[in-house]
Structure 1
Amino acid sequence: MPIKIPDQLPARDVLRQEHIFVMPESRATTQQIRPLKVLILNLMPKKIETETQFLRLLSNSPLQIDVELLRIDDRPSKNTPEEHLNSFYRQFDVVKNRNFDGLIITGAPLGLVQFEDVIYWSHLQTVIEWAKNHVTSTLYVCWAAQAALKSIYQLPKRTREDKLSGVYSHETQYQYHPLTRGFDDTFLAPHSRHADFDPTYLADNTDLDILAVSQQAGVYLACTKDKRNVFVTGHPEYEASTLHHEYQRDVDQGLSPMMPINYYPEDNPANSPRATWRSHGNLLFSNWLNYCVYQQTPFDLENFSEDKFTKDDE
């Protein structure tokens, strides 16, 4: 089944070239089925690139998905045309009285910034709190995962001495959990962050189910027991070249970054990297949509109630 996106969204042509089933909004309005409504809060500077990456993963599902894009505020963007933002992105005030089946909050390049110094921190906290009563399941990615741990569990920011960058091996902890169903015992996933997600620290200070862990990168995947909050500390949405572009950017800025681990063939940046995490990324998003969203969400979103999930979990 397809994802439904606006007819003129730039990602449409990219995804069609990859033979991904994308349904234009004009056609979807004639179908008599109820699509899942998924909201993406895009915090990344290069919004067109990021939205395309997430739409690619959301498309690999038998479910029809109605995607809407959300911006955190109305400040001008240095990396995305204002025309694009005005055409395809909603402001929070427009959606705050509605309910959604799923919400994805992306990462943000704020690893060394204290939460209280993030210009939109209070607004992000409002969105996270709003999701409790308006969203069936929320997926927090990379920086957003640490921000949600702070907002939901009051965990302080934990910063690594060195940036974690590269492709790391992870071990699946619970193969029969809905989110890890079909996962291999070990799998690869990219990371690009300064945040620290120590397994023991999270186990001692939260009630999260810790589902996948790396010896080098720490916790990769965790969720609340009701599956309404899912934390992904890496970047399953990344394209093969994304880490390369980040590394080259830091080199050009004179930051002397470490070369991404286990990424370039023969550890040579002159060699084109290959994606070794696509199958895992697609399976993770498919499981989230199926088990955390589709099988838990009410058919009539107007009947959404947090009490329903509390009672079901009990």
Structure 2
Amino acid sequence: MHSIPAITRLLGCLLLAAAGTVTAQAAARDTIRVLVGFPAGGAVDIVARAFADQLRQSSGTTVVVENRPGAGGMIAIDSMLAAPASGQIVEVIPSSQITLAPLVTKAIKYDPLTDLVALGSLAEFGFGIATGPATKETTMAGYKDWANAHPDKSNFGFPGVGTPQQFIGVELGKQLHISYTPIAYKGGANSVIDVIGGQIATLVTTEQLLIPYQKQGKLHTLLITSKERNPMLPGVPTAIEVGLPDLDERGWVGLFIKSGTPAKLVTQWRAAVEKVVSNPKYAATMRNLGYGVPAKQPEDFAKKLASERATWQKRVKASGFVATN
């Protein structure tokens, strides 16, 4: 394990290399490990690799992405928390793993708000509600009418118990005053297949997963939960536009480090994240994938995370959800 001074030197090299004041060889003396708690090729992994690539290109530093999937992302977090707070290991984590997961999973033995420190937001995304041949509807108003006419068939697929998509679907049913039966899947891909095949009426998933199927005309995205329309989903309205302002929800993928990491390293890491996210090449990569990038980082991440958890706590309580193991 590298010493704290070595990591301090490395992060200093990252910032100086971005300004062109050190050589790639000097910056590459140490290795940064970026953990991902989900499989390669998934939404979180894609963001992690785009970030790692830009960090590597701008500094010449060796940056290794390590996938440690399992237990809803907990295995990777446990791994980081078990390692020394040296600043060498960071993790790319979706915001729901920090703000929602502790409310719905008893197995989590750590508190993300106190055991982890946010270094920055890498990408932002919304969720979408889509339907297919089972309903043949193309608007949310049309789906509401269809659901009222077919209450026994009105349902939605979502990628796992306790995910944001589950609670968004429950909230949608309440706001539309329709029967809307939840159907849990293991991951989002299978629910997409079943909507396209007409086995279920709708699904709730991330905008990014819907983009290729929307373009191919295999399903119809009825709305997205972002405040603004997604350029990759032209013509799809936001929840606010269709009169469902309480459905406004935007997730994000962030970079985190173990609590107890020296403040100097945290400050240097945050500066490094800021440089990557503000790079036009990185921003273009994210936009092409359907993600947004933050215009600026929150001034107080602890306050932001606590606020988001409070919001999810209200939604979980209102849904009647009982935490699982």
Give yes or no for TM over 0.5.
Answer: no
| TM-score normalized by the length of structure 1 | 0.29
> Relative to total residues, which structure has the larger strand share, 1 or 2?
1
What's the TM-score once normalised by structure 2's chain length?
0.28
Larger radius of gyration: 2
Question: Which is helix-richer, 1 or 2?
Answer: 2
